[in-house]
Structure 1
Amino acid sequence: MLPYTHGGDVLTAQARYGGPVLDCSANLNPLGMPPQVGEAAARAAAQAAPYPDPLCRELRAAIAAHDGVAPERVLCGSGAAELIFRLAFALRPRWALVTAPTFSEYEGALSAAGCAVTRHLLRRERNFDVDEGLLEAIGPDTELVFLCTPNNPTGRLIDQELLLAAAEKCRGLGAVLAVDECFLPLACGGPGLVPWLEEYPNLLLLRAFTKSYAMAGLRLGYALCADTALLERMSAGGPPWSVSTPAQAAGLAALTQCPHWPEKARAFLEGERPALAEGLSALGLDVVPGQANYLLFRAAGAADLKEKMVAQGVLIRSCANYHGLGEDWYRVCVGQAEQNRRLLAALREVL
């Protein structure tokens, strides 16, 4: 079995620690799952004997109304990760471009689909920001580009004008630009790139309830694109019924009963994120000024920090498997004040 390389592996951490641990590795909404969402999922689970709606009709209609698109522009999946793989296998590009560091599943999906991947390296001296150099990296052979805003694990937003310039260049080359906006609701308000979907049919947006509503265990994400033929190819490229009845009910409750939950989280994060960043910096850590619900930092020379933190009952995300980072880079989520205090206390103990 391949090793698990993402955050949120609480069971392994608990086995090593010998008891419950504080999970600071999974970058979810710090307010947790809204009660209405959990209740809707529980009610749906009691009615889960029939197959779920394979077309997610009611959920797609709610997403369309919330995001301001037509329902046929929406494709639901078992988390954004599934849709990343569906896109890679629907297109089967020969050459694709990703940034580094960024979410590893882009390259994982592309490699699984037999695609050669070019990495556009981001620089620490520029806070790992994506800049105009990206446009030069999009070459004539590029068939698919993956971008993430705010980027994971850096937490840095990509300038919207730059994203549109990338969409324009990709359109001229006949390439698809996939922009992962899963963390955007927790970083800033606004519609993201939705208003430009009709202008750029080669633009596909990835979104998820996982982060915004802290429902990672239910697995629910969706793609938005004006190219309905591409969405149909993605839909046909995977198994039916990939979105369970409880997940569909949870997503519907999130949008209809608590649509402002991410907004509440943003207000909370504006107070807690600077305090956590200041606390990390005070410990001598090199902190990237993130704009999302997580922070990336370097503990120079401390390649074993994750293991030492687990011994303190705290799980953090090692970023050693991110291209463009080293073994002493880590990511932590921004949690409640007491959770952040415990995280900093544990770090102070082991550093």
Structure 2
Amino acid sequence: MKRFEHGGRIYDKKISLDFSSNVNPYGMPQGVKDAIIHGINQYHLYPDDDVAKLKKALAAAEGIQEEMLIFGNGASDLIYRLCQSIRPEKSIVLAPTFSEYEKALRSSGSEVEYLELKKENQFAFSYDLMGKLTEEYDMFFLCNPNNPVGNIIEPETLEAIIETCFKNQIFLVLDECFLDFLKEEAVYSGKQFLQKQQYGEGIFLLKAFTKLYGMAGMRLGYGICRNWKVLEQMEWAGPAWNVSAPAQVAGLAALKETVYVKKTRETIEIERKYLEGQLRKLGFTVYPSKVNYLLFQAPAGLETYCLEKEILIRSCENYIGLTSQHYRIAVRLREENNVLIKCFQEFCKEG
């Protein structure tokens, strides 16, 4: 059976530092923690199945109509519900990319093919790949920034992809769960194309509170779409009360954390560049990233060595197109990053 693995698998290991999971190194904002605790006497009640308060606040923050929003138990919940709703016969995904797209597509009966990103092009989406987005496909999952690489698709290329999908009637799912780590997120987001009448109904934008706000355990994702039929089908495809009361409270509080977000973006940019420089000094191949994680190539055995030091990094061997020498690490705070680099230095000396 094919393995679909993810970072953050800490529960069966003794781990002091987790670099395998790409969440905010500052953890959940204090204001969000306080809001969750403050609402504890309401958690005996069923959550609002309409997610009304959060929907209103988030629509204002995103600058969209409330009707364009749908919420899920994390972004992964929405991926599965979307696939079950549309049930595409044949789909295409990037390789390498987040494995849940393929898993969800296959679970809905779809045939899945790969749009392979080339190592010599640093696993970036190149313009020549556009010709492979043909009318034989019903759905295309595009992760921007891509996971596990962290690279960004330029706005002009993104618009060309959207035009190609529209022309060939391919439903485009844009996963932007990591885009919030960028100060210029609005420039790179597909949200601008949702407002265009000719494209709007063929795009689904996938986002989450998980990464930026350090809320992975709360499970709160959302989608933005102008295809009312698809949104209605997705509501039918999932169970009631799939967004818990604590998650709704946390989401509302998170939207107020503007200072926290600014601080996070500044720190990530500084620390990513620092980590990239340190990895290159060790002779590792580092692929360009704009967000809070780095893909790099190093000798096999690095993950095992780190585990012996109670540090978890993400082996990328199970990603299509990558090998046992490819690893992904989250960008964390300087003190933690230095512990990781010291571990890597010791590995290189002993190797």
Q: TM-score, with normalisation over the residues of structure 1?
A: 0.94
Which letter does structure 1 place at the counterpart of 2:105? Answer: L
Of 54-63 and 183-192, deviating more is: 183-192
Alpha-carbon separation, structure 1, partners of 2:263 and 2:87: 39
| Structure 1 residue 276 corresponds to structure 2 residue 275 | yes
Q: Which residue of 1 aligns with 2:59?
A: 64
Contact kept, 8 Å, 2:172 with 2:204, in 1: the verdict is yes
Alpha-carbon separation, structure 1, partners of 2:258 and 2:205: 19
Q: Which residue of 1 aligns with 2:212?
A: 212
Following superposition, the deviation at residue 3 of structure 1 comes to 6.7
Alpha-carbon separation, structure 2, partners of 1:324 and 1:188: 30
Q: Which residue of 2 aligns with 1:5?
A: 5
Following superposition, the deviation at residue 347 of structure 1 comes to 1.3
Following superposition, the deviation at residue 4 of structure 1 comes to 6.8
Contact kept, 8 Å, 2:135 with 2:169, in 1: the verdict is no
Contact kept, 8 Å, 2:141 with 2:174, in 1: the verdict is yes
Which letter does structure 2 place at the counterpart of 1:178? Answer: V
Deviations 1:107-152 (A, max 9, x none): 1100111111110111122111111133211111111011011110
Q: Which residue of 2 aligns with 1:288?
A: 287
Following superposition, the deviation at residue 2 of structure 1 comes to 9.4
Q: What is the correspondence of 1:1-351 to structure 2 with a 5 Å cutoff? A: 5-14=5-14, 20-191=15-186, 192-199=189-196, 200=199, 201-255=201-255, 257-300=256-299, 302=300, 304-351=301-348
Contact kept, 8 Å, 2:98 with 2:147, in 1: the verdict is yes
Alpha-carbon separation, structure 2, partners of 1:260 and 1:221: 22
Contact kept, 8 Å, 1:29 with 1:262, in 2: the verdict is no
Q: Which residue of 2 aligns with 1:17?
A: none
Which letter does structure 1 place at the counterpart of 2:66? Answer: P
Alpha-carbon separation, structure 2, partners of 1:321 and 1:214: 25
Contact kept, 8 Å, 1:98 with 1:146, in 2: the verdict is yes
Contact kept, 8 Å, 1:45 with 1:245, in 2: the verdict is no
Following superposition, the deviation at residue 350 of structure 1 comes to 2.0
Distance 1:3 1:95, change over 3 A: closer
Which letter does structure 2 place at the counterpart of 1:64? Answer: A
Contact kept, 8 Å, 1:187 with 1:293, in 2: the verdict is no
Which letter does structure 1 place at the counterpart of 2:278? Answer: G
Q: TM-score, with normalisation over the residues of structure 2?
A: 0.94
For the aligned residues, what is the CA RMSD? 1.6
Gaps of 5+ in 1: 15-19
Contact kept, 8 Å, 1:23 with 1:314, in 2: the verdict is yes
Contact kept, 8 Å, 2:20 with 2:313, in 1: the verdict is yes
Alpha-carbon separation, structure 2, partners of 1:12 and 1:157: 34
Following superposition, the deviation at residue 42 of structure 1 comes to 2.3
Matched residues, percent identical?
Answer: 41
Following superposition, the deviation at residue 159 of structure 1 comes to 1.3
Contact kept, 8 Å, 2:294 with 2:329, in 1: the verdict is yes
Q: Secondary structure at the match of 1:322?
A: coil
